[in-house]
Structure 1
Amino acid sequence: MKKITRLFLAVAFMFTAFSMAQSTVSGTIMDAEMNAPLPGANIVEKGTTNGVSSDFDGNFTITTQSASGEVVISFVGYGKVTMSFNGNTNLGNVTLSPDNTLEEVVIIGSGVIDLAEDRKTPVAVSTIKAAEIQEKAGNWDLPEVLKSTPSVQNVKGGGFGDGSMFLRGFDQTNTAFLLNGQPINGMEDGKMYWSNWSGVLDIANAVQVQRGLGSSKLAISSVGGTVNIVTKTVDKKEGGFVQAMTGNDNYLKTTGYYSTGLMENGLAFSAMIGHWQGDGYMQGAKGQGQTYFLSLGYKPNEKHIFNFLITGAPQWHGAAGGNELQDYLDKGRRYNDWWGYYKGEEYAGGRNYYHKPVTNLSWDWNISDKSTLSTVAYASFGRGGFAYPRGNTFYNFRDANGLIDYDAIEANNLSNPDADNFVHASVNSHNWFGLLSNFEHKINDKLSFNFGVDSRFYNGIHYRSAVDLLGATPTYTSASSPVPYTLTEQTGFNPWKNLFSTLDHNQRFGHDYEEQINYIGGFGQIEYATDKFSAFFQGALSTQSHQREGFWDVQGLGESEKVNNVGYNLKAGGAYNINDNNIVFVNGGYYSRQPYHDDLYTNVRASNELNSFGDENQKITGLEAGYKFKSQYVSANLNVYHTIWDNRILSSAEDTDNNGNSDVFYQSSGIKEIHQGVELEVFTKPLKGLSVNGFISIGNWEYDGNVETRSFDDNNNILSEGDVAYIDGVKVGNAAQFTAGLNAGYNVTKALALDATFNYYSDLYASVDFGADEFTTQNNRGSIELPSYETLDLGLSYKLKVGKENNNVQFRLNVSNVFDELYIEQSTTNIHDVESGYTSWNGVSTENEVYLGYGRTWNASLRFNF
């Protein structure tokens, strides 16, 4: 009996002790900026994996494993908060403040994704979080979402996905874009085509814009800066959404996403699929496409995590080229010279079609508490091109309304065997493979380093094809193929079909060549940091080889000489923390950047002949300094920069006989630009539930010195050589050198929020054509200044809790350019004088070919989160 009593007392004591070792901790998580509950925040008992998430109203309750200790509260895009508890504790309202960090966003590939948080020495950076992307993206591409960050301007272009972005006055070819650490700019020319990435914002956790030198560890040498797109990979918890969106001009989009989260067996699966279609803002800019995303993750233990990802956005869309300003004034801002009707259906002869599946396999290895290794192998397979009318008399066939009469063109082709008016495409396909790997090691609490490898292997495939013959049977000959051959195959615009089909060489014309570009680089960084001071040194070395192989029917041109270029970059900087609220920093760097493939040849489309100056590296020098202030209610970033871009090469082409085929080519060498300016960002929370943020960017971007130009025809015959373009002191065009913006958000109630964004653009100049008459004399008149303009965008969000604690329905309405302002976003010509038949509009000759900004547009979406 005594033994039983002792056993009972022992069990009772153990039960009591176990009970006393646990505590219940509760509270409500609040958004400091909006003074509203923050659902989905993570609450984890420090030192354990024991955690819960806050519900729709921000409430949480966690049963801890210890009687006292700390809980760590975090949410994507917000600063962490650590709270102590002792026994059962109600923490009350716990406020999280937004910050620029991206903690807990990146689980996969964190060692190869270049985020500013990976380095303690600051850079000029702006971060757009998932919540803002989800609300404001609507049916826009990424450049439109980024327009409210300093020194960024978006030009929308003529059709879906045709927009482009300028950063500190540099275009997209000179800004590095990364998707989860993987470079996605074109290997040949650095170009970006947003139509290939139409679904990326649906799966984006965050986008970070690093202006200027940035914090990139990779062996890349961007001039304007680096844009990091961080997508979902392995989610921590199960969930998803379904969304339906509509918008102006019959836009419709449906999207569904689901993730299992990281399951107990270590597996995680997520998938997204979507479809969109619409008529487009411009005439004849109708388009449609799909988006898909699959991610499979596996975490066998705390040391390793793997992930396989595939995503793509097959699409086609009508395009609208720049027209003379007079045409828009006479025929409306939506006017498009390329469209008409064919067999009773709207038909755009200018059309983009493409499918670019991207896959990557990543591995993160936590070797120890001090060492990690991240590796990602990737591949993309692009198929498609840009189609547009071809033929000397194509544009002569018009109906009573002035639209292109495609039925009449077909009838003429069928009745006239010599007629050659049809729709052709410049096909630009590729096979691209790459490997990134980065090792990081923390020597001690103050000193750390990393080093890695960046390798890329690229095969570009280029030719002209008949997309729609419209009944024509054109026959071609060339110097390398003197036997006439007739085009009989037409590829069509279907991006799925073109992904899995090929075209024989004897059905290609105009040009037919491939290129091999191989790139291998190494990079490294060392950083020293204390509570007050930090400094870093970073370097990269790379070698890049180019080889071109030309084909024409069965004879071909053969392989060119292989060109090898070595490039490097060096960056260094330091920062001083005056106190917790004030930081100053300075960074400097020098890049020796290899020329693009298209710069190496006298005529990349038709010749293996190398430029005499084409293999020289570009030289980029960057200096920047900054000051960061942060407090509970006001934060600010001030940056100044000075960038020199020297020894640039610029190539262009012209269709002088207006038959849809470029026949005169221009090249300029030794171009030097100087970009300098100051940027200020301010973030404030003046009242409960109200946030007001703004920025001002003041730039001065000019050409320094004159340049030499030359021209040649399609057979590589020199037409002119040694010409001088007098551009010294001329303003760099295409992007506004003064921009300012103000955006405000207000939580009317817990569920209802309103926001407004105002943007102003000034000191905007036309594009500079070095071969144009305006620059062939020393008395040039510079680039014309375009009128300043401003836009106002409005948004409304409403969120309603439904069913389970984390389920909710969100309604979002966006209205862009509320006042329907008419403005010029870009001018591709630089005509000063008003010729006969033209007028002047706000000081600009209407003979100039321009792109107008879109008028008032809108989109509305309904989203169910579960």
Structure 2
Amino acid sequence: MKIAVFLRGNISVKLLLIAILLPALCSAQKKITGTVSDAATNKALSDVNIRIGDSNVNITTDSKGKFEIILKDESEIRIHLSHISYESQQLSINPDMSEVNVRMKIRSYISEEVTISATRNKKHSAFAHDNISSEELQRSNFGQDMPYLLQMTPSLVTTSDAGSGIGYTGMRIRGSDATRVNVTLNGVPVNDAESHQVYWVDLPDLASSVDNIQIQRGVGTSSNGAGAFGASVNILTSKVSPLPYGSIQSSAGSFNTFRNSVGFGSGLLSNRFAIEGRMSKITSDGYIDRASSDLKSFYLSGGYYGSKNSLRAVILSGKEKTYQAWYGVPEDSLKTNRTFNPAGLYFNKDGEMKYYDNQVDNYQQDYYQLHYTHSFSNEFSFNSTLHYTRGNGYYEEYQDEDMLSNYGIADVIRGNDTVQYSDFIRQRWLDNDFFGLTLNGNYQSDNFDVHASFSAHQYLGDHFGELIWSEQGVIGTPPQRYYFNDAEKNDMSGYLKFIYRGIENTEILLDLQIRRIDYSFSAPSVSGEMINQESNMTFYNPRLGITYMLSPGKSVYASIAMAGKEPVRDDFINSSPASRPGSEKLTDYEAGIRYQRSNLNLNLNLYFMKYKDQLILTGKINDVGEYTRQNVDNSYRSGAEIQVTWQIRSNLALQANASFSRNKIDLFEEFIDDYDEGIQRTIIHKNTDIAFSPSIISSAMLSWAPVKKVSLDLIGRHVGEQFLDNTNNKNRMLEAYFTSDFRFRYTLNPKWMKELALSCSVNNLFDKLYSSNAYTFSYLYGGQLSTFNYFYPQAGRHVFAGVSFKF
């Protein structure tokens, strides 16, 4: 009964079911087979990506270089062939053909993709993954942060503090938050080494400098940086363009949002050298009160691209200044004032409520990367990366009536009065350096590939606070520092990956990784004294995957992967050695089937993720008086992910996915503060849902090109209900929501430029009122249990429009 009610109200799942069932009723008119080979050696080429027309339907060649295309009508189509080591190619296919032989020429220079090839899954990999091209990103790029451009990915849920996707945004994949999603940029870790967070706000308009992204769900294959417990996001920045170009992009929209971006590329100079760059500025007032954003970024890449060697330097810088909106909206304000923002609130001497103008987060992050690649032969290559990431900034707060003793300031005697409280303005700083080296060796042959990697990274972070003003004049010359602690983290890892294809129609992957963490920091002892402490951890992360090709375009696969992950900074510094939580462990079992035709892609992936000692919030106060996460013995996530990409007609396409899951904790203790008795009460919970883990997530996009140069997209997304904690309490829950977007794009090709495009996006088309994130806490007082929920409401109907020029 529940399923029937759900389907009646869920358009994206309806479209998914139509996409699965209807193609079975459509008979193919013409099958065309093809083979792709090396133009010089006639060697069959596997894993050549073939995109059908301008659709999102992609097929790949099998181990023998073969593929199949089905023509449904008499019209001609164009296919686009691409491979990491070969020049891209286009070819027209018509119904008169029965067989196609394509010969691809090897590139005259080494592609940037070699840099990250060892951490990428190939099309037939036994691990669930999706590839997102720059073209797909640009269709929805109006200045929103990266998570909002990836919303068509299975099992992905986004949220925005400001409510409009600009500023502080985040995403969860399979219910796992950002600290459990490994993100790399050209193979370099992006997750903060201590908190494991990814701050997309520090990378504004990154999508304008991205060539493609691969998202691996689950543990995935070996990568650099923090362990992947929900997914990994592997980003490759723009590849060199053989021809010179220039671009201008501008957009504007609701909440006084503006985005301007300028880019250029020299093309290959003397067939060997190239330089490319971009500058962007994004501003927005945000949907939530005062949740403004002022974002700036630039990207610069230059290098030498030879047939055997390449040397490429990349600089990426992002600077953000955002008004804080991370406190959420109290539940009782959602109906009466859903854009209320308590950040910066204080009362002046007359008792009037005011908001501090500079309650902002102000931070800059700069990435410097140097990539070197050498090809010894067609089979063997080596690449290395040197990187340095510099971060520096603070967030500023007005503290109303705060105790002097909180800042190490003694009470001030003034005549007969003792000053114990004062209003303060404080800044909390983070000043960090992250640098390292990555070495990769790659060997590829007909029957097997070998990838070996070693990486070493060091993080140095200073955390300190400064008082810059006090109402009572109790500080000296500002700024006055009131705390300081530093941290050092060394992260070394290595992996050896074998891919064996010696058994007909079978591919076997064995991936062995070892990772060593050495972390030193300041934290309290059991007696409360701040002392220098260390934590050392070693993780062994094996992976095994098998893929069997049933026929061209049809395959089944299965994999098992194990991963370990250290706690985050707060777990370390807010505990003593006696109460410190341990590392988390995960065993990920996956299996699936892939079906590819020229007009249809179907993927079904099943997973069972078994956690040992997963870290969750329980409300427990530890021996140093802090609320920290606790290890729970057993928990799991299991589910099914279905994906469909269907080119219904030459001008009509459907892309849809749905995820159905169970996310459970076997047993844990909830702790509730009892202020009447001065103790903590405990409640035992069994078989409860893991917080922020909706059992159903689905999305669908129907794309129609009514006339040439015009495209229309109708998008629907459904996210099921989510609990705010792990207690299954209906009073602490995010309601399910369904939203729709509409996009329009009109492209022209005038003689005086390569392309002129006009675009528009109407987000939340039907003005749905919903919240995408929240937090909760409860306590006992006066014999009553009080629960407080704070929500992050998202914007109703809002519009962005843009224009882009390419020269």
Which TM class, normalised by the smaller chain length? 0.7 to 0.9
Structure 2 residue matching 1:290: 3-state secondary structure: strand
Gaps spanning 5+ residues in structure 2: where?
Answer: 1-49, 57-75, 101-106, 404-416
- Which residue of structure 1 lines up, in the alignment, with residue 761 of structure 2? 814
What is the letter of the counterpart of residue 471 of structure 2?
A
What is the letter of the counterpart of residue 274 of structure 1?
S
In structure 2, how many angstroms separate the alpha carbons of the residues matched to 1:94 and 1:189? 57
TM-score normalised by L of structure 1: 0.74
Given candidates 361, 365, 370, the residue that maps to 1:356 is: 365
In structure 2, how many angstroms separate the alpha carbons of the residues matched to 1:111 and 1:264? 23
Q: Could you tell me whether the CA contact under 8 Å between 1:587 and 1:624 is conserved in 2?
A: yes
Q: Could you tell me whether the CA contact under 8 Å between 1:303 and 1:367 is conserved in 2?
A: yes
Q: Could you tell me whether the CA contact under 8 Å between 1:546 and 1:597 is conserved in 2?
A: no
What is the letter of the counterpart of residue 695 of structure 1?
N
What is the letter of the counterpart of residue 854 of structure 1?
A
The alignment status of 1:670 with 2:611, answered yes or no, reads no
In structure 2, how many angstroms separate the alpha carbons of the residues matched to 1:104 and 1:672? 53
Given candidates 698, 711, 730, the residue that maps to 2:660 is: 698
In structure 1, how many angstroms separate the alpha carbons of the residues matched to 2:231 and 2:118? 12
State which drifts further: 199-208 or 117-126. 117-126
In structure 2, how many angstroms separate the alpha carbons of the residues matched to 1:513 and 1:669? 26
Q: Could you tell me whether the CA contact under 8 Å between 1:169 and 1:737 is conserved in 2?
A: no
In structure 2, how many angstroms separate the alpha carbons of the residues matched to 1:473 and 1:520? 50
- Which residue of structure 1 lines up, in the alignment, with residue 289 of structure 2? 283
The alignment status of 1:227 with 2:227, answered yes or no, reads no
In structure 1, how many angstroms separate the alpha carbons of the residues matched to 2:128 and 2:689? 24
- Which residue of structure 2 lines up, in the alignment, with residue 630 of structure 1? 596
The CA deviation at 1:652 is 9.1
In structure 1, how many angstroms separate the alpha carbons of the residues matched to 2:797 and 2:571? 40
Structure 2 residue matching 1:668: 3-state secondary structure: strand
The alignment status of 1:516 with 2:488, answered yes or no, reads yes
In structure 2, how many angstroms separate the alpha carbons of the residues matched to 1:83 and 1:859? 36
State which drifts further: 542-551 or 818-827. 542-551
Structure 2 residue matching 1:147: 3-state secondary structure: coil
The alignment status of 1:131 with 2:135, answered yes or no, reads yes
Classify 1:217/1:192 alpha carbon distance in 2 versus 1 (closer, same or farther; 3 Å). Answer: closer
The alignment status of 1:297 with 2:326, answered yes or no, reads no
- Which residue of structure 1 lines up, in the alignment, with residue 424 of structure 2? 422
- Which residue of structure 2 lines up, in the alignment, with residue 851 of structure 1? 792
Given candidates 394, 400, 413, the residue that maps to 1:391 is: 400
TM-score normalised by L of structure 2: 0.79
Give 1:237-386 correspondences, 5 Å limit: 237-264=243-270, 266-299=272-305, 301-320=306-325, 321-331=327-337, 333-339=338-344, 347-348=356-357, 350-386=359-395
In structure 2, how many angstroms separate the alpha carbons of the residues matched to 1:125 and 1:381? 31
Structure 2 residue matching 1:330: 3-state secondary structure: coil
- Which residue of structure 2 lines up, in the alignment, with residue 209 of structure 1? 215
Classify 1:238/1:187 alpha carbon distance in 2 versus 1 (closer, same or farther; 3 Å). Answer: same
In structure 1, how many angstroms separate the alpha carbons of the residues matched to 2:169 and 2:92? 50
The CA deviation at 1:648 is 2.9
In structure 2, how many angstroms separate the alpha carbons of the residues matched to 1:190 and 1:622? 21
In structure 1, how many angstroms separate the alpha carbons of the residues matched to 2:187 and 2:193? 16
The alignment status of 1:618 with 2:584, answered yes or no, reads yes
Give 1:71-82 correspondences, 5 Å limit: 74=82
Classify 1:206/1:77 alpha carbon distance in 2 versus 1 (closer, same or farther; 3 Å). Answer: farther
What is the letter of the counterpart of residue 427 of structure 1?
W
In structure 1, how many angstroms separate the alpha carbons of the residues matched to 2:620 and 2:797? 34
- Which residue of structure 1 lines up, in the alignment, with residue 19 of structure 2? none
- Which residue of structure 2 lines up, in the alignment, with residue 489 of structure 1? 478
- Which residue of structure 1 lines up, in the alignment, with residue 46 of structure 2? none
Structure 2 residue matching 1:598: 3-state secondary structure: helix
Structure 1 residue matching 2:801: 3-state secondary structure: strand
Classify 1:339/1:830 alpha carbon distance in 2 versus 1 (closer, same or farther; 3 Å). Answer: closer
Structure 2 residue matching 1:261: 3-state secondary structure: coil
Q: Could you tell me whether the CA contact under 8 Å between 1:33 and 1:689 is conserved in 2?
A: no
Structure 1 residue matching 2:765: 3-state secondary structure: coil
Q: Could you tell me whether the CA contact under 8 Å between 2:691 and 2:724 is conserved in 1?
A: yes
In structure 2, how many angstroms separate the alpha carbons of the residues matched to 1:858 and 1:611? 53
In structure 2, how many angstroms separate the alpha carbons of the residues matched to 1:756 and 1:94? 36
The CA deviation at 1:389 is 2.9
Q: Could you tell me whether the CA contact under 8 Å between 1:238 and 1:259 is conserved in 2?
A: yes
Give 1:408-807 correspondences, 5 Å limit: 420-442=422-444, 444-466=445-467, 469=469, 472=471, 475=474, 486=475, 488-490=477-479, 507-509=480-482, 511-529=483-501, 532-549=505-522, 560-603=532-575, 609-614=576-581, 616-650=582-616, 664-670=626-632, 672-707=634-669, 726-768=684-726, 781=729, 784-804=732-752, 807=754
Which deviations, in whole Å up to 9, do the C-alpha atoms of 1:790-842 show, x marking residues without a partner? 000010001111234x6111111111101111112223116799x9999xxxx
The CA deviation at 1:79 is 12
The CA deviation at 1:215 is 3.0
Q: Could you tell me whether the CA contact under 8 Å between 1:585 and 1:627 is conserved in 2?
A: yes
Structure 1 residue matching 2:335: 3-state secondary structure: helix
The CA deviation at 1:338 is 2.1
In structure 1, how many angstroms separate the alpha carbons of the residues matched to 2:584 and 2:346? 47
Q: How many pairs are equivalent?
A: 704
The CA deviation at 1:262 is 1.9
Q: Could you tell me whether the CA contact under 8 Å between 2:287 and 2:794 is conserved in 1?
A: no
- Which residue of structure 2 lines up, in the alignment, with residue 151 of structure 1? 155
The CA deviation at 1:710 is 11
Structure 1 residue matching 2:201: 3-state secondary structure: helix
Give 1:140-179 correspondences, 5 Å limit: 140-158=144-162, 160-179=166-185
State which drifts further: 192-201 or 730-739. 730-739
In structure 2, how many angstroms separate the alpha carbons of the residues matched to 1:94 and 1:374? 42
Gaps spanning 5+ residues in structure 1: where?
Answer: 1-29, 37-57, 61-70, 97-102, 395-414, 476-485, 491-506, 604-608, 656-661, 713-718, 769-774, 839-844
Identity value in percent: 20
Which deviations, in whole Å up to 9, do the C-alpha atoms of 1:21-55 show, x marking residues without a partner? xxxxxxxxx9845489xxxxxxxxxxxxxxxxxxx
What is the letter of the counterpart of residue 764 of structure 2?
N
Q: Could you tell me whether the CA contact under 8 Å between 1:319 and 1:348 is conserved in 2?
A: no
Classify 1:355/1:211 alpha carbon distance in 2 versus 1 (closer, same or farther; 3 Å). Answer: same
- The structure, 1 or 2, with the larger RCO (C-alpha pairs under 8 Å, 6+ apart) is 2
In structure 1, how many angstroms separate the alpha carbons of the residues matched to 2:88 and 2:522? 55
Q: Could you tell me whether the CA contact under 8 Å between 2:722 and 2:736 is conserved in 1?
A: yes
Classify 1:602/1:710 alpha carbon distance in 2 versus 1 (closer, same or farther; 3 Å). Answer: farther
Classify 1:765/1:136 alpha carbon distance in 2 versus 1 (closer, same or farther; 3 Å). Answer: same
Classify 1:361/1:77 alpha carbon distance in 2 versus 1 (closer, same or farther; 3 Å). Answer: closer
Q: Could you tell me whether the CA contact under 8 Å between 2:359 and 2:395 is conserved in 1?
A: yes
Which deviations, in whole Å up to 9, do the C-alpha atoms of 1:495-524 show, x marking residues without a partner? xxxxxxxxxxxx222x31000000111111
- Which residue of structure 2 lines up, in the alignment, with residue 864 of structure 1? 805
Structure 2 residue matching 1:392: 3-state secondary structure: strand
In structure 1, how many angstroms separate the alpha carbons of the residues matched to 2:83 and 2:383? 24
Aligned-pair RMSD on alpha carbons? 4.1
Classify 1:445/1:217 alpha carbon distance in 2 versus 1 (closer, same or farther; 3 Å). Answer: farther
In structure 1, how many angstroms separate the alpha carbons of the residues matched to 2:505 and 2:368? 42
Classify 1:621/1:104 alpha carbon distance in 2 versus 1 (closer, same or farther; 3 Å). Answer: farther
The CA deviation at 1:420 is 2.3
- Which residue of structure 1 lines up, in the alignment, with residue 189 of structure 2? 183
State which drifts further: 795-804 or 512-521. 795-804
In structure 1, how many angstroms separate the alpha carbons of the residues matched to 2:321 and 2:55? 44
What is the letter of the counterpart of residue 743 of structure 1?
M
Q: Could you tell me whether the CA contact under 8 Å between 1:546 and 1:564 is conserved in 2?
A: yes
In structure 2, how many angstroms separate the alpha carbons of the residues matched to 1:95 and 1:726? 66
